[in-house]
Amino acid sequence: MSVSTSLTSRTLTARRVIRILITAAVVLSVVAPSVSFTESASAADQFDSMRLRHVNDLTGTIAGSDGVGSTAAAVRRVDDAARLVWGSLNTAATGSEEIWSDLDTHDFSDLAVAFHRVESMALAVGTPQSTLHDNIQFVGDTIAAVDWLHTNRYNPTTPKKAAFWWFYEIGIPLAFNDITALLYPHLSQTQVASFMDTVTYFAPAPKNTAANRVWSAYVVGLRAVLSKQPSTLKTAVEAMRPALSLVTAGDGFYADGSYVQHLHHAYTGGYGISLIQTVSRFYYLLQGSQWQPTDAAGLSIYDRVQDTYAPVTSCGGVMSVVRGREVARSVSQDDAVGVTLQSAVLRLAEIAPATYAAKTKRAVKHWLDCGSNNSTSIESAGGVADVVRSRLLLRDSSVSSAAVAAGAYAFNGMDRFVFNGTDYAFAVGMSSSRIAGYEALADENLHGWYTGSGATYLHLGEGSPYSHDFWATANPYRIPGTTEDTVKRGETNGRTYLSGQSFAGGLASPAGSRGIAAMSYDADGNNLAAKKAWFVFEDRILAVGAGITSTNMSGNGWDGKATRIETTIDDRIVTAGGAELRLGDTTVPLGSAVSALTRWASIEGPGEHVGYVFPVATTVKAQREQRTSSWNAINRLESTAPASNVHLTLTVNHGANPTNSSYSYILLPSRSAQQTSDYARNPDVDILASGSGFVAAYDRRSRTSGLVSFDGAHHLVQPTGSPWVSIDGAAIAMVEEDQTSYTVTVSDPTQLSTTPIVVTLGAETSEYHASSSAVSWSSGGGQTAMRFSPGGLRGRPLTISVVKKPAPPAEFTIVGQLVVTGDTVYGGTLSAKVPGVTPKPDSTHYQWYRGGTGVSGAVGQSYPLKAADVGQVMSVRVTLAKVGVKTMVLSSAPTGVVRPLRFATTPVPRITGTRASRRRRSSCSD
């Protein structure tokens, strides 16, 4: 968000806004119109060219700026910001007074505020379309203001104070350099040299790590451009590279996409945003010069867009789960930070080498498309250059708009897990002996106690639900996903706490379509311990808590009631048009809380739909309340103006001093109440185990098992319709089954394992393909054992795919023998009497044999004996066939020799009886 927007959109004083930006360590671009800077670079040397290029970037004078329509709204933001601070400027102040009465510029933090106020004025001076650009009085007052600050407060005679190093080494020089560049045509060379000598005094050379190093290098680099010092510029460019290189510990980028700052804090969306914004400005300035980075190390920032930033950006907003203490800043809510990221990546995309350009543009175009209606967007808060670049990209039909970071991401370097689904995003913030639960610093994030204690973040639809003043009004004792003691905590309580537990992390399936996260939680300041796991099966998220145990609980908690252990399932705000909170068939009205034994709950409204299903009927408390607070309650630099939201909360009460208590629920993103109710009647996710040492689940739809072994012991489960699976060793494991193979993925969330993790399947396999030599395989005796050696991998997963060994087919069961019946004589008929057969064959084929040779065409169950059979023995073979059953051939015993057909012998006939006499024939007359 630009400074001007933050000043006009809230009742914050300019002092608070600028101090927030400074403390945030994010110096965002302010806006200006799309016109050319008045000084021509045609005859200037290369340093003048770089300076002008930088000024044009600040003022939005870039290619295409004259063909994207009006940017008047952005120009007004420049004017508004400048007029706001000009109106309270004391132009007659002496060195013992203050040029702004609300500041004490002897304090470096207030001095930084003053420099940023002058910077906003300088931007208006340098912006030709600003109404203040040609205002002689305004221009003179701007120059006088920077001269006053330099003469009276910030020069080589000013004592350095170590506690304020960031302000005088980075924050103030960043502003001072830009002021000098913007006012350059109005300054004498003596002024320029004097200003740059002061920057050199406070920031002589690049130093520090990660974002602080990038800032430091940029301060030195831009100072070198303004002072025309080639060797210093070379030093600055080279000094930036270590901050872009991958690290294995401490601050910086990790191979798995994590970004850590201050050693123990996940900060992709905080310091990481400042880093990429600063790199983009520095690279844009250097483009086309001999110092332009072209090496792999220098260009690796483009890889970080894809593997570090894109996965934690949902619909244009940067997720709170990776924003550290900056969640406590009103001007740095998720959507606003997304605008800063879009600004940086748009700038990088414009100058990207061909190998990176297309995918970089696709990423930012998706954010622009999806986030066009966010509470803060490029159009409403970006600089003119940002508006121009975004409009040009959105009009470019050759660039597709598609999500570039879909699926699961396990950021084990910073104890974070993210899943980007088709219509939702889900994230888990964890902590361990490596990563702290939260950071509180400089009077901000005072109540961030549980934001890294297994906190879950569910993003649905457009815009972040964690914008809209969510963090100002949320109950800090009821952070979604967490299991906590209701004991009352003080501001910044536990801010230096590192857990004694090393078990925290996750894994993603090789295709990214599924993932698991888990942590062993031990709370700060009490005896609460719990095992927590999340299984993401595409569009269903199973959350399981086990071994929830606490002792010695007493007294009353934050709500005045006896302390107890609670799990907060969710806490959402109503962002658009109202939403209905239902606990089963009961609707919860505003100002009410309902507790009931239920199998499901839902939140349904025009902004979002989400269902909650309880595999085991659970007593759940649903509350709908109007909460009013202020940003000042969590950040002393903020306004006390009230902020208000309607919060919808679901919690489970485990009581006081629970022993091995548990919970389980399934999140159904984008499901209506009816769909949730229907699913609750027939869920397809099974909990196979839920104990303090082992948690396991099975997704029947995808035939995927998830196993989390906290204690490292031997554990075995039997999924429905799949082989049994066991695990030995503390690990997270996933077993995916398809028609021909099993894919097993394992990670070591402790990052300490020195012995192999063994996963065994109750099925033999015939071959394997492993992702690493750290995986081995053996199969036999009806099972397959896979050994994973994760030592030194720092949580990186190992994967093996094993091919199913075809199971031996079933066989027919025969009761009796195949028998030939009938008389073995020529002309007779033989029949095959088949014995009892189980299962019933699909087909039965007969073949008759004469003396061991098949008789052609004799394939019926009966066979008439022929002349050729005489003198031969006969037999029959019967072939039984059925799908899935081994074909069987039955052979009969041979018959006796076939006999010829013989005539029967009969006596010679004899004539018997008396011979009669012969009569003479008499003659007759007429």
Active site residues: 271
Q: Crossing angle, helix 230-244 and helix 210-227, to 10 degrees?
A: 160
Cβ–Cβ under 8 Å, residues 571 and 647: yes
Q: Strand pairing of 313-314 and 265-266?
A: unpaired
List CB contacts of 489: < 8 A, sequence separation 6 or more.
447, 449, 477, 525, 558
Ranges of beta strands (E only) in 605-660 are: 609-630, 642-655
Cβ–Cβ under 8 Å, residues 431 and 414: no
Rg of the chain (C-alpha set): 41
List CB contacts of 514: < 8 A, sequence separation 6 or more.
408, 508, 535, 536, 537, 538, 699, 702, 704, 706, 734, 736
Q: Which amino acid is at 706?
A: G
- Cα torsion through 238, 244, 245, 247, rounded to 10: 130
Cα distance between residue 236 and residue 715, in whole Å: 55
Q: In degrees, to the nearest 5, what angle opens at C-alpha 410 toward C-alphas 406 and 411?
A: 115
Burial class of 301 by CB neighbour count within 10 A (0 to 12, 13 to 18, 19+): buried
Cα distance between residue 680 and residue 582, in whole Å: 14
Q: What is the 3-state secondary structure (H, E, C) of 107-130?
A: CHHHHHHHHHHHHHHHHHHCCCCC
Q: Residue 924: left if φ>0, alpha if ψ -120 to 50, beta else—which one?
A: beta
Cβ–Cβ under 8 Å, residues 261 and 251: yes
**C-alpha closest to that of 425 among 324, 266, 505, 315:** 315
Neighbours of 96 (CB within 10 A): 6
Measured CA to CA in angstroms, residue 502 lies from 1, 163, 433, 655, 902 at distances of 37, 32, 5, 27, 98
Q: Residue 907 phi/psi, 5° resolution?
A: -65, 160
Q: Crossing angle, helix 46-59 and helix 271-286, to 10 degrees?
A: 130
Cα distance between residue 195 and residue 917, in whole Å: 174
Neighbours of 922 (CB within 10 A): 5
Measured CA to CA in angstroms, residue 299 lies from 279, 304, 348 at distances of 10, 9, 10
Q: Which amino acid is at 353?
A: P
